[in-house]
Copies of this chain bind each other. A is one copy, B any other.
Amino acid sequence: MVYQATASAPVNIACIKYWGKRDTKLILPTNDSLSVTLDQDHLRSTTTSRADPSFTKDRLWLNGTEEEIKPNGRTATCIAEMKRLRADLEAEKPNEPKLSQFYVHIASKNNFPTAAGLASSASGFAALVKSLASLYQLPSTPSELSLIARQGSGSACRSLFGGFVAWEMGSSPDGSDSLAVEIAPREHWPEIHALICVVSDDKKGTSSTSGMQRTVETSTLLQHRIKHVVPERMKVISEAIKKRDFNTFAKITMQDSNQFHAVALDTDPPIFYMNDVSRAIISLIVEYNRVSVDAGGPLKAAYTYDAGPNAVIYTLKENVKEIVELVVNYFPQANQFKDPFGLFGSDGVQGNVVTGFNTAVAKPFGVGAVKNLIHTRVGDGPRTLGPEESLLGVEGLP
């Protein structure tokens, strides 16, 4: 009998940013956060987990390369927590096989290159937890699983749901109420699309793990953000999502991206994640929105930046074509735009600019400044996949 399961999990990109832990071991954050789950059809981590009495230790392969599972490290913690849930189930149902006592082999891969500069820890830990939950046939809800994924990588907890997801910081010292909840499923607002601009960076940035704790220790503005700004923004953006109010959603998303980078800059020594290319993309989106607002319309796009120079632009599906044209005008692409939604005909992207746009807001960059454009949309939560998707061979090795 082979005990094995395969699952995939999505990437999520926050609108209200997580930056700062109140407990670094349990990964308990200093504020609530909120994200949009992106479509696994375009970006995903896939993980196969197998339990077998013949295995001699827990082992993990990432993209085909074995990685050490450090004792008491984050991966070990997630595996131990999942085994504990399985043991609880076995205690209740004595006829179930004692999988909790077997070692596991886990193989995981991402369908996007590391070079894309997209954080894979969120989708990776979510897929790990989901595949183990399937292997162990646990009745756990996504929120319950999010408690465990959170201990792998904080933002991974939000990848246990599709759609629009909040990570509630909670108040319990043991972390039992610091979990993800669904604000709205993807079906509520499927028109939310995302354009990821992969920005070339020649500077090694500060890791988010060390960076956020330096901010907690040295920024004199962070506490004000945590106590007064984020709680209000969480309310307003949750309401905006429920009402499908893109204008408010965009405004809060941009403000919170800016404020996250502001507190990073208020850190000693300061932390910079955005570079001149990131700044130029902000200028384009600000001007693109100005044209709409000056004509009496709403904000049409929202930029957001995580701990790196890449831009994620949220917009409604109807605006994606204009935005791709705009970005390509300033950031010529080496490769043809991969057009998963068939927006462009055989002529491809022309680099057109919307009427009334002040082209002087940014200077054009050379090919490669924006290395790649990825068009995706709001997506669903983790999926349990069939055995044909297995990443482990007959021997239980990749």
A residues bordering B, Cβ < 8 Å? Answer: 202-204, 220-221, 224-225, 228-229, 251, 254-255, 258-259, 261-263, 265-270, 272, 275-276, 279, 282-283, 286, 360, 362-363
Contacts and interface: CB of A to CB of B under 8 A. Distances in A.
Contacts of A254: 268-269
A279 B220 CA distance: 21
Given A220-B229, A221-B224, A258 B268 contact: yes
Given A221-B224, A259-B265, 13 more contacts: A202-B363, A203-B362, A203-B363, A220-B229, A220-B255, A221-B221, A254-B268, A255-B266, A259-B266, A262-B262, A262-B263, A269-B282, A275-B279
A282 B270 contact: yes
Q: Which of A203, A228, A265, A362 has the most CB of B within 10 A?
A: A265
Nearest to A268: B255
15 contacts: A203-B283, A203-B363, A220-B229, A221-B225, A221-B259, A224-B224, A251-B268, A258-B265, A258-B268, A259-B266, A262-B262, A262-B263, A262-B266, A265-B265, A270-B282
A221 B262 contact: yes
A211 B126 CA distance: 42
Contact of A265 (B262, B275, B276): B262
Contacts of A276: 275-276
Nearest to A360: B204
Contacts of A286: 269
Nearest to A221: B221
Contacts of A362: 203
Contacts of A269: 254, 282, 286
A282 B276 CA distance: 15
Contacts of A360: 204
Nearest to A258: B270
A362 B275 CA distance: 13
A264 to B, nearest CB: 8
Q: Which 4 A-B pairs have the closest CB atoms?
A: A224-B224, A262-B262, A262-B266, A262-B265
Nearest to A286: B269
Contacts of A263: 221, 262
Contacts of A258: 265-268, 270
Contacts of A363: 202-203
A159 to B, nearest CB: 28
